[in-house]
Amino acid sequence: MKITVIGTGYVGLVSGACMAEVGNDVLCLDLDAQKIQILKDGGIPIHEPGLLEMVRRNVAAGRLHFTTDVERAAHHGTIQFIAVGTPPDEDGSADLKYVLAAARTIGRLMTDYKVVVDKSTVPVGTADLVQAAIAEELAARGVETPFSVVSNPEFLKEGAAVEDFMRPDRIVVGASDERAIHLMRALYAPFQRNHERLIVTDVRSAELTKYAANAMLATRISFMNELANLAEKLGADIEMVRQGIGSDPRIGYSFLYPGAGYGGSCFPKDVKALIKTASDKAGIDLKVLGAVEAANDAQKHVMGNKVKAHFGDDLTGRHFALWGLAFKPDTDDMRDAPSRTLLADLFAAGATVTAYDPVAMKEAKRIYGDEPRLRYTDMAMDALEGADALLIVTEWKEFRSADLQQIGKMLTTPLIVDGRNIYDPAFMREHGIDYVSIGR
């Protein structure tokens, strides 16, 4: 099957590579010539485990191609995936200008039947706007070329996106046209060979499903973070509480880990967009999600507050080691990462920082440029040199079994502030380390 993917960001590139992996002829379009050149040169513009090898394998096999030629892309695929960015507007709503520009381009250039698939995370009602944009372009040309618009939201976890696409737990397709549904079933058949995972809904239900899923997960995180803050005050251990409630099959263990707050490209943006959609389109105040967002914003300051509780509000002359910059392990994504809030709090109080992250330091350097208060090191232990304390923001595996004796020796003050509860408090005490974590 010939497929066009518009946008080679996180969603578009993973989707294109995985669809090529099962034998489809995939052409990925992006107007960013530099990004396309990176891909043509055998690289990828993001960090995602397994993706680089898959891209190279399918390019070599002639199944995966990259272009900036919009006309070539419009003519290539019977199925046209729109996987462009939907950044938050100033009011929190999703900015659809890139989605609608892609739709208009398809309408302006298409010459035969197309299934236009909204893969980007978009508000309810976007498919109607895409339908109208394409229809307007066709009318302007004086042609009546048939097409269908489908909602097919992605449910990919950064750091496990390739696995999620190749072995999905569900595939949601929002459509009413039988021809389009038939093509989507054929496209996804290789990804659900052992049992049916494809759920067909109406378009608006599919659009809402994506936002609802992310909002539910964000809610679990904020709920646990609030409980963690309560547990500290009451003298309870949130990790024991987590095991106690997670063992209930109605609740489960997923997304019950307390920490420094959620970040990334999805949860913060999607919670805001859903709140805005409810307010503007339905006149409903989503009070629970408003509280989820407020709790998360506050949680991102918890680590900075713990540092100040130990050293005082004025951190002038203090220097800290920071382990972890990405918002989660196995990605270089720093969008809305808790590390950025912590760095802002430390800088505002007068501190300096040496940071280490296995993959996100290039992204950090792009964000912070020549920031004099921030240095980087290529080795985790080197960040401890001359530091008053170690601050852990991202739970990378390599941090789990660090040399605690060496850490205690290198730090000016044997203090670890752990925003991800990696270590056992009793074990830390045995090593003479003052250990401050979340909810314990």
Q: Supply the residues annotated as catalytic.
A: 266
Residue 432 structure tokens: 């003479």
Q: Amino acid identity, residue 56?
A: R
- Rounded CA-CA distance 364/40 in Å is 25
CB 306 within 8 A of CB 265: no
CB 275 within 8 A of CB 289: yes
CB 180 within 8 A of CB 115: yes
- Rounded CA-CA distance 127/148 in Å is 10
- Rounded CA-CA distance 256/269 in Å is 20
3-state secondary structure of 415: strand
Q: Amino acid identity, residue 346?
A: L
CA angle, 117 then 118 then 120, to 5°: 140
Express the helix, strand and coil content of the chain in percent, nearest 5 each: 45, 15, 40
CB 358 within 8 A of CB 396: yes
Is residue 184 packed enough to be buried (19+ CB in 10 Å), middle (13-18) or exposed (0-12)?
Answer: buried
**Burial track 361-375 (b if 16+ CB lie within 10 A, e otherwise):** bebbeebbeeeeebe
Residues 6+ apart with CB under 8 A from 437: 417, 418, 419, 421, 423, 425
3-state secondary structure of 29: strand
The position carrying tokens 């000016």 is: 412
The 8-class DSSP code of residue 278 comes to: H
The position carrying tokens 């079933």 is: 185
3-state secondary structure of 9: coil
- Rounded CA-CA distance 102/108 in Å is 10
- Rounded CA-CA distance 266/215 in Å is 10
